[in-house]
Structures are given as structure tokens and as C-alpha cells.
Amino acid sequence: MGEAEHRGIERPAKLALWACLVLLVLTLLSSIFPQRRGLPTHWLEDPSGQWTLSDVRAQPESAWHNRGEQAFNQGYSRSTFWLRIDLPQWDEGARYLGIGNPLLEHLSVHRLRQGSNMPTLLRLGMARPFAERPLPFVSFVVPLSSADSGATLWLQVNSRTSVQVPLDWWDETAWARHQQQVSLFHGSYLGVTAAMLAFNLLLYLAIRERAYLWYLGWMVCIAAFVFTLNGSSFQWLWPHAPAWNLTVLPTSLSLAIACSAGFFVHFLREGGRAQPGEALFWLLGLGNLALAAAAPALPYRVAIVGAIAMAMATMLVAIVSAAQRALRGNFGAQYFLIAFSFVIAAGVVLALNKLGLIARTFITEHATEVGSAVEMVVLSLAIIARLNHQRRQREIAQAALLDAQQRLTTELEVRVAERTEALQEANAKLTELSQTDALTGIFNRRYLDAHLERELRRLARDGNSMAVMLIDVDHFKRFNDTHGHPAGDACLQAVAAALSANVRRPSDTVARYGGEEFCVLAPDTTEAGAVALAETLRAAVADLRVVVDGVDVAVTTSIGLCWRTPEHPWYASALLKKADEALYGAKAGGRNRVHTV
């Protein structure tokens, strides 16, 4: 099986393994951070939205549903919901009740202390200016004193956004720690976003490649969506315009997905050429742009559900298309899948958390921020890798062009009577490049073939002998599979250095024959001298220790030796064939040996 075919079989398994690994890692984060502590909750549904606190208190106990400590979640609903919370007893100090959904529109907290018949009312919710909150925090926090010990709270909730009411219960120490965590987390996300924006902006200004402009749009819009989702935008950007949140969420999400579609099209183009299926992405991008433009005029639920549906459809098509291209070896598609797998896995983790299928922790509550931040960093690194890949491809093309130029120069020099000194120097440099193996620094096969023909003609005239050795690194494929291709390259470099260091005379030539095979030409030598040289080279390699991940790995070689005198025909192909037969004899004899024919 060829190497390309082998890679084609491995690549799907690697991509599937990567996707599973990302999802597993983000899911397991729920066990690293402590679970959020809630409070026992009972709830009622008021479909009409007309009930007062007196109506609610008059309801029989059998009408209340027991939610336990699980987060209350009714999705998108037009009803008003009442939650009853019986606070625990405590002796002294402050306590804090957190309501971890900053997008709840209307939230009223009715508090009835023990020994009192007059409830107090605290109005919260995203529909009110940020300054009216009792504590300046991204989510809603109800401060409680020791006088509230054992009190009963009724929460009245109505919202066009998803009716999710996750409750948190803190003492003063835990509240201070939570504030620090949230501030550090949001500050870190802002720092990562700003750094990646600056990097990609400079990259776009330097390269002017349209893909990076689309990616800048994606980062700006997804950051706006995330900061609005976690309440930071309302606190810092528009604290007096609460209704703007309901416009920013679907608009920024739709714009982000539209930019991701444009980025996908340009980033995955091979050689700058348009690819099949791009029309579908432009259509999806236009659909997202149209939805973003219409979002301010649409009812919030229609706009956000439409934005989520369009986002899911666009990302699904993008992932499937990227997977197909990655399986065909598209370099950019592989990095696209790796980076966006974090965003998708984060969305899955957040959904599992909202459905109560995994523990509610600090990380799972902020999975969207974690996933998008990691995606920004990974894809920015992928952009660098893509640029390096493109540079290497250009170098390969340039090398091929130089090789073609060298062949043309060789043909023309027969017809050219004289050349300038500058042209001679340029040709000398090109010749040196074409004769040297890029990995090992020794002569390459091309030089070997030409040099062998010249030596054979000279030795035929002089009546001298010639020794040809073919040297193969034992079990090199297994070495590569076990230790990786970088270690394999280091092994070939070490073997080449050992061979070059142990040839005896300037006339002896060491060249890379191909893959893990090397060739040594030893003209003007006796058979005994050739055998001795071959044994020296074999022992020199056997003494090598290639360091792989801090461990010394032994390397051996098998050597096939062909020695010919003037009585035999001087044909290069015949000598190399005999040396190859000898090499097979050395392998058949157990490897790490010299075999002569």
C-alpha cells in the first residue's frame, strides 16, 4: 500500500478522533469546577399573566410543582411564571441569591420575612436600566441580610427570551470569589478577542487577502454576540438602552454566520481558484445578511429562532463540506475543522447544560466564550500555518522552476560560445542546489547518476577498479511509524553524517539514493579495501544513537557491495543492479551486515 493511500485511510479516523476528543474535554470540564449550588424551588405557571402575589399565595400547595435544586427552564414561553423559594436559616452575615440569566426581561422579587405580613418588592430584569440593579453585576443578584434568614421569596418571571432561571446561593466569601472569577474570565476573553483582532487586522493589512477580512468580521460579530449573551455589553456599552440587547443578539449572530460563510469560501480555495459548491455558501451568507437586516423589525422570538436555525444550517453545511475537502487533503479544511470543532463542541456542552444532562458549573455556563476564544486562537495559528504552507508550496514551485531553468541552461550552453562571469556564477549556484539533497545535505540521486557515468568513463581509460555500495536503513518504515516523520528525518540526517565522516578519500562519494537508501562510490580501490570500507561504514552507523523524545534509539544498516575490475563491462545500470542484489542478500542474511557480489 502506498504512503498516500495509507494517509487517505488514516485521515478520516484522525478527524473523527479529534472531534470526539474536543467534545470530551469540554464536557469533562464540568467535573473540574465545583457544581453550582442552587436552592429548592417550587413553581406555578400563570398563562394570563394577571396574577398578583395575593393570587399566588392563595394557591393550594398541590398546585405548586417541585423543581428541587435543578435550574428552572421553560424555554420560549409567553406565560408568566412564579417561583417560590424558602430561604435557609443563617445566623449572621450577608447572603446573595444569584439569578444567572442576564437576558430575562421582566423579573420581580417579592420578599416576605419571618414575622412580617408585608412583602417587599425588588424589580429587576433586562427591561430596566442597568443602574437600577442593587449590585452592578452582569447577571441579577439579590443581596440578603441576616434579617432575611428563613424568609420566603416569590420570583415573578416573564420574558420574550428563553425563560431559564438558574439560581445560585452564596455567602460573602463565595460571592467575592465568584465576582473575581467572572471579572477575570470576561477580562481574559476580551483580551484574547482584542489580541486576535489586532493580529488578524495587521495580517490583512500586510497581505490584503480577502479571507482575513471576512474572519475579522466573524470575530467582531461573534464577540458582540457573546458579550451580549453574558450581559457584559448591557453593563458597559448601553446600560440605558435595555431593548437594544434584543436587537443585538439575533443581528450579531446572523452577521457572524454570514462572515463565517464568506471566510469559509475564501480560506478553503485551492490555488485561489473557485471551488464547487461555493454558490450555496454565498446563498446562505445572503440569507443570514437578510435576516440580520430584518431582525430589528421582527419579533424577538422569530428573529432569534431564525438566526439560530440559519446558523445551524450554515455550520452544518460548512462542516460537511470542510470534512470532504479535508479527506481529499485540503490543508486549510483540516485546520478549519479543528478550530470550529471547539465552537460546535462548546454549543453542544452549553445545550447539554441547559437541558440538565451535565453538571452546571462555571465553565459549562460559559462554554460559548471558552469555545469561541479557543477557536479564535487556534484558527489564528492555523492562518499562520496556512501562510507557511503556501510559502513552502511556492518554494517547491520555485525549485521546480529552477530545475527546469538548469536543464535549459545546460542545453543552451552547447550553442553559446561564451558566457559572462555573472552568468557562470549563477549557473554554478543553481547546479549546487540541484545536486544536493535538501534533507541530508549530501549529494542527491541526480548528481550520483551523472558522477557515476563520468567515473566509469575515466576508470575505463585508466584500467582501474570501482566499488559501488547500496546502503539501506534497517526497518526504517517501522521507525517512522513508531517515532514519527520528524524523528525519521533526524535519523536519515544522522546516517548521512556518519557515512560522510567515515569515507576514506576525497574521491569517495556519498549520495542519497532515494528514501532511506544511500550510495557510496569508491573508485580506484581493491576488493579488500572496499570490504573494509563497507564494514567501517556499517559499524559507524551501528554506533549511532538517534535521540527521540529524550530516548536513545539504535540504528543499523544493510550494505550491498559490488566490486568490479576492468575485465567486466562498465555500465552504470549493471553496477547498481548488482549492488541492489547484494543489498537484498544482506537483508536476507539478517540485516546489519555487508554482503558482496
Structure confidence at residue 321 (pLDDT): 86
pLDDT per residue over 436-458, tens digit each?
A: 998 998 999 999 999 988 888 88
Max Cα-Cα span within the chain? 122
- Do 49 and 15 lie in a common domain? no
Higher pLDDT, 596 or 26: 596
- Do 46 and 26 lie in a common domain? no
- Do 21 and 48 lie in a common domain? no
Domain that holds residue 557: 436-596
- Do 299 and 354 lie in a common domain? yes
Q: How many helices (H) and strands (E) does the chain have?
A: 17, 18
- 255 Cα distance to chain centroid: 23
Other CB atoms within 10 Å distance of the CB of residue 209: 18
Say how far apart CA 538 and CA 558 lie, in whole Å.
7
CATH of the domain at 164: 2.60.40.2380
- Do 157 and 267 lie in a common domain? no
pLDDT per residue over 123-133, tens digit each?
A: 999 999 999 99
- Do 478 and 446 lie in a common domain? yes
Domain boundary among 152, 175, 198: 175
Task: Report, as residue numbers or ranges, the catalytic residues.
Answer: 516
- Do 241 and 382 lie in a common domain? yes
- Do 95 and 128 lie in a common domain? yes
Structure confidence at residue 340 (pLDDT): 79
418 part of a folded domain: no
Whether pLDDT at 570 is above 70: no
Calculate mean pLDDT across residues 353-374: 72
Q: Where are the alpha helices (DSSP H) in 416-475?
A: 421-435, 445-462
pLDDT per residue over 486-542, tens digit each?
A: 999 999 999 999 999 999 788 899 999 989 999 999 998 888 999 999 999 999 999
CATH of the domain at 496: 3.30.70.270
- Do 275 and 353 lie in a common domain? yes
426 part of a folded domain: no
- Do 337 and 215 lie in a common domain? yes
Domain boundary among 146, 175, 204: 175
Domain boundary among 175, 194, 223: 175
Non-local (6+) Cβ contacts of 504 within 8 A are 533, 536
CATH of the domain at 254: 1.20.1070
415 part of a folded domain: no
- 364 Cα distance to chain centroid: 20
pLDDT per residue over 82-101, tens digit each?
A: 999 999 999 888 999 999 89
Say how far apart CA 130 and CA 226 lie, in whole Å.
18
Q: What's the number of domains the chain is made of?
A: 3
- Do 10 and 86 lie in a common domain? no
Structure confidence at residue 593 (pLDDT): 95
Whether pLDDT at 34 is above 60: no
484 part of a folded domain: yes
416 part of a folded domain: no
For the chain, percent of residues with pLDDT exceeding 70: 87
554 part of a folded domain: yes
Residue 218, class by beta-carbon neighbours within 10 Å (0-12 exposed, 13-18 middle, 19+ buried)? buried
Q: What is the CA radius of gyration of the chain?
A: 36
pLDDT band for position 22 (cuts 50, 70, 90): low
349 part of a folded domain: yes
Q: Which of 76-90, 148-162, 302-316 has the lowest mean pLDDT?
A: 302-316
The HSE-up count of residue 237 (CA atoms within 13 Å, CB side) is 12
The bridge status of strand 557-564 relative to strand 594-596 is parallel
Calculate mean pLDDT across residues 368-390: 79
- Do 126 and 247 lie in a common domain? no
Structure confidence at residue 559 (pLDDT): 96
91 part of a folded domain: yes
Q: What secondary structure does DSSP assign to 503-560, as a single string?
A: --STT-EEEEEETTEEEEEEES--HHHHHHHHHHHHHHHHT-EEEETTEEEE--EEEE
Calculate mean pLDDT across residues 563-586: 84
